[in-house]
Structure 1
Amino acid sequence: MRKSILKKDITRKKSEKNNIKNKMPRDKASGRKTILSVVYIFTGLFILMMGYFAHFLIFKSRDVINSTYNQRHDVLAKRVIRGKIISADGVVLAETVTDDGENEVRNYPFDDMYAHVVGRVLRGRTGIEAAENITLLTSYSNSAGALYNDLIGVKNPGNNVITTLNHKLTKAAYDALGNKTGSVVAIEPSTGKILAMVSKPAYNPNEIDENWDRLSEDQDNESPLLNRASQGLYPPGSTFKILTALAYMRENPDYLDYSYNCKGKIEYDGMVIHCSNNRSHGKVDLKKAFAKSCNTSFSSIGKELSMDGFRELCESFFFNKDLPAKISNNKSRFELKTGSSGVKEAMQTAIGQGKTLITPLHNAMIAAAVANGGIMMKPYTVDRIESAGGRVLKGYIPEEAAVVMSFEEADYLKSLMRAVVTDGTASRLNKLDVKVAGKTGTAQQDGKDSHAWFIGFAPINEPKIAISVLVENIGSGSDYAVPIAEKVFEEYFK
């Protein structure tokens, strides 16, 4: 009897509990869902905010800090003497001095030699002066001394920027270019360090204020404010045959058996392409065609290449893309495309004519990639940051931009480029004590003299330097670009 009563009691309590649950207001359950939705929304917003914050710190903060609209610059300039910019071999390239009126003046000891790569601070910051602006206006001097200077109203010395630029090599390039219009770029293939960057005509940043009207209006039509090394776009001429040869190698595994009979010219649908001086090279293999810069052979190759494959290869070399460099640059252009380009354009493109355009910096990077076994490094101009007292605050580590070809492909291209020096259009360089590899180019223009090109590297077995030389509207690469390259190589290896 007692067990029966207990059992009924338990059943009754369960029933009451279920009734309570069933009687729970629907709006209370709905309220819980609303609260959860709000929690999810704010959690999502928090994650997005943190993601953007991380993206800002990694990718955008430097640009914002260096922006000319950042008022922090003005505050720092009142407390800090702008630091020095120094070459890799210890030469001061830019410094702040005091004039007779006790005014701070930015001084560039070598006038126009470093105008484009080091840059300026007046009339718009450019070059390293712009890229490292906040660094130069930041002081990491002795904290006690800095505090004392602040108290008595004396400025602290800013940090110094130690560049990758070699002053002796830069001067050799500057002198070799002379009064010609063009540029010279030198890179260390294994790291991407820019050893020299010269562009002419240039301007004197010490006199930028008094000459600004003439320079900005470009009254002489010389574009002296333009850094031709990284912003000038030119048809690459026969230097582009490096990429044409690589495209042919990838599409034809039997490329070592290549053979062509050069008769000095080739015709297609009313278009005629000549070899230099209508010279007939006779029967050539790929190495001889490359060494002699045989236009008919390479335009014949271009006729057979896959346009889309060629375009994909060139874009893997950063055509139609921003170069992975902090230096202000223009995109090199490759426009050959299935559906919108014809065979004539393909033949012209294969020899570096047509619509293809490239910067001298980009061409130097291509030469450096061949020298470096197929690995293209990111070019850079700042090696480290030091305090005014010489303490290293930050060092820059070389970074890969891309693996653009296999080691085997690079090795074969090296042999082609070496043949250009031993038995081809850059034979003048064969007299140097160091073994040089390279490629000349003569980029033709309608109604004007050709642009002269040379790109190359040395020594061939353990490359230390890759260079790109461009001389505007002057003639062949063999006659005008190669002698400039020769002087740069001589300076580097002496």
Structure 2
Amino acid sequence: MTRKERKEAKKREKKRLKAKRARNKEFARVTYVFVGLFLVLLGYIGYFQVKESQDIIRSPYNARQNSNAKRVTRGMIVDKNGNVLAKTDTAADGSETREYPYGNAFAHVVGYNVQGKSGIESLGNYDLLTSDENFLIKLKNEFQDKKNMGNTVVTTLDADLQEAAYQALGDKKGAVVAMEPKTGKILAMVSKPDFDPNAVEENWNSLSSDTNSVLLNRATQGQYAPGSTFKVVTLLEFMRENPDYSSYSYNCTGSIENSGIKIHCYNGHVHGQVNLQDSLAYSCNTSFSNIGLSLDPSKFKKTAEEVLFDSKLPSDLPYSKSSFTLDGSAGNGTKMMTAMGQGETQVSPYHMALITSAIANGGKLMKPYLVDKVTNASGAVMKETDQEEYKQLMTEEEASQIKEYMKSVVDYGTASVLSGQSYTAAGKTGTAEYSSDKEKDHSWFIGMSNVEDPELVVSVIIESSDGTAKAVNVAKEIFDSYYR
């Protein structure tokens, strides 16, 4: 081979190697892309297994549940003491009927199992249609062509307390939430108007078109102006902006006017010289309007968000997000109205129960829950709910001070009906106007019992009470029942 031929051969070899390297680089890029996609897929599968799978499996719209229902008799739902809240009756011909022994009392929280599902019937759907019975029992049922019994969902609900709350609310529209602040267990949840879960199928057309929104769970989905119960949030913000808050003093003359807006204390009452504790105890609108004028709207909004306004709420049931709209563009009238719980602020009774629970528990909100455990039909525990902290809504010092001020509401303020009982109590009453007619209002109460070591938190609203009913009286009946 001549020198020239050797040079040409080397050139060709270089070109070949260069082309090969280019192809290798292209192949490597494609490989990296596929490896990346594979890793993303693995990550999603892991996320799905941890975060999403149970929600999809448990969904009442999952077709898999229909096949389970052919082999498994839907399990029971019971309260914390084993009282049956929902069960399946099987007739001689094999037809099944879902029965709710307590009728309307648990309508919204336990829910229904026809025309879709709601409440705990939806929340526990997968477990209720899963049978973890002993293998031999399953084998015996298989040979006898019998369905296996589904698991039992043991709730945190207390049937006695639920019935007390249901009776206390009477025929009024409204809602009640009762929970343990130290654990997050929901003991009672009532919403009115209610319905009979035993007759949902035959009454579906009238229920679904009812003008009073009878199917709406007002406890978690109702949206109301919080009225004076919101003053605990205003109080928190004032304490944060004013380290010397204990020196606050204001002379209440029964009304306050600013920027053409005039605000009165309830029934025009003149409270005279009040400090911060008195302002909350007497629910002095003019004092809190004065406080509202002094607050930084941006900081106030941040505090509201920290106590879960405009935020996701920890809830096993469908809920409505609360809203706090105050910002830097707000006029003085809006600032005053917002500080006393009117204006555009909207909240649910459930959310106010969460805020009160945090105050009762040193600022720490425990994650609320309704299902305590799941057992098989023979009573063996399959799984239990772990108690866990959800979020620190405020410092322990802030919670302690607000709790002390709330105690004064009972000791000598607007909730004095709770003083002198076998238990101690702290709370905040509220009156929320819902019309230009000042005589029309909702009645609120939030509070706790056994103040030194709070055991029970209650949140109550009575819609359109219009001065004829007080939520604090409903709360008293619930506290009385708890300590009876």
TM range (shorter): over 0.9
Task: Report how far residue 58 of structure 1 moved.
Answer: 2.1
Residues 378-424 of structure 1 deviation map (CA, whole Å, 9 limit, x = unaligned) = 21100000000101000001222210111110110011000000010
**Residue matched to 1:398:** 387
**Residue matched to 1:432:** 421
3-state SS of 2:103 partner: coil
Query: For the residues of structure 1 that align with 2:33 and 2:354, how far apart are their CA atoms?
Result: 48
Task: Report how far residue 59 of structure 1 moved.
Answer: 2.2
Unpaired runs of at least 5, structure 2: 1-9
Matches within 5 A, 1:4-403: 25-99=17-91, 101-218=93-210, 221-339=211-329, 341-403=330-392
| One-letter code aligned to 1:365 | L
Whether 1:485 aligns to 2:483 is: no
3-state SS of 2:66 partner: helix
Task: Report how far residue 36 of structure 1 moved.
Answer: 1.5
Residues 336-377 of structure 1 deviation map (CA, whole Å, 9 limit, x = unaligned) = 1113x2221111000000000110000111111100000012
Conserved? CA contact 2:259–2:332, under 8 Å: no
**Residue matched to 1:8:** none
Task: Report how far residue 67 of structure 1 moved.
Answer: 2.8
Query: For the residues of structure 1 that align with 2:143 and 2:331, how far apart are their CA atoms?
Result: 73
Query: For the residues of structure 2 that align with 1:163 and 1:21, how far apart are their CA atoms?
Result: 78
The structure with more radius of gyration: 1
| One-letter code aligned to 2:298 | D
3-state SS of 1:332 partner: coil
Query: For the residues of structure 2 that align with 1:100 and 1:46, how far apart are their CA atoms?
Result: 54
| One-letter code aligned to 1:48 | V
Task: Report how far residue 56 of structure 1 moved.
Answer: 1.4
Whether 1:464 aligns to 2:481 is: no
3-state SS of 1:138 partner: coil
| One-letter code aligned to 1:261 | N
**Residue matched to 2:465:** 474
3-state SS of 1:313 partner: helix
After superposing the two structures, state which structure 1 stretch, 404-413 or 22-31, moved more: 22-31
TM-score if structure 1 supplies the norm length? 0.93
Query: For the residues of structure 2 that align with 1:321 and 1:459, how far apart are their CA atoms?
Result: 30
Residues 173-225 of structure 1 deviation map (CA, whole Å, 9 limit, x = unaligned) = 1111111111111010011110000111100010111211111111xx22211
3-state SS of 1:301 partner: helix
3-state SS of 1:203 partner: coil
Query: For the residues of structure 2 that align with 1:401 and 1:69, how far apart are their CA atoms?
Result: 29
Query: For the residues of structure 2 that align with 1:240 and 1:475, how far apart are their CA atoms?
Result: 19
Query: For the residues of structure 2 that align with 1:205 and 1:150, how far apart are their CA atoms?
Result: 32
Conserved? CA contact 1:82–1:158, under 8 Å: yes
Conserved? CA contact 2:59–2:125, under 8 Å: no
**Residue matched to 1:7:** none
TM-score if structure 2 supplies the norm length? 0.95
Unpaired runs of at least 5, structure 1: 1-17
Conserved? CA contact 1:361–1:468, under 8 Å: yes
Query: For the residues of structure 2 that align with 1:289 and 1:77, how far apart are their CA atoms?
Result: 58
Query: For the residues of structure 2 that align with 1:74 and 1:428, how far apart are their CA atoms?
Result: 52
Which residue of 439, 445, 453 corresponds with 1:454? 445
After superposing the two structures, state which structure 1 stretch, 482-491 or 99-108, moved more: 99-108
Task: Report how far residue 74 of structure 1 moved.
Answer: 1.2
Query: For the residues of structure 2 that align with 1:362 and 1:284, how far apart are their CA atoms?
Result: 29
Structure 2 CA distance for partners of 1:303 and 1:368, relative to 1, 3 Å: same
| One-letter code aligned to 1:131 | L
Conserved? CA contact 1:442–1:475, under 8 Å: no
Task: Report how far residue 20 of structure 1 moved.
Answer: 11
Conserved? CA contact 1:441–1:476, under 8 Å: no
| One-letter code aligned to 2:449 | A
| One-letter code aligned to 1:459 | N
Conserved? CA contact 1:85–1:93, under 8 Å: yes
After superposing the two structures, state which structure 1 stretch, 386-395 or 56-65, moved more: 56-65
3-state SS of 1:113 partner: helix
Query: For the residues of structure 1 that align with 2:118 and 2:61, how far apart are their CA atoms?
Result: 15
Query: For the residues of structure 1 that align with 2:411 and 2:287, how far apart are their CA atoms?
Result: 20
| One-letter code aligned to 2:401 | Y
| One-letter code aligned to 2:44 | Y
Residues 271-304 of structure 1 deviation map (CA, whole Å, 9 limit, x = unaligned) = 1100011111111100001100000000111111
Task: Report how far residue 168 of structure 1 moved.
Answer: 0.8
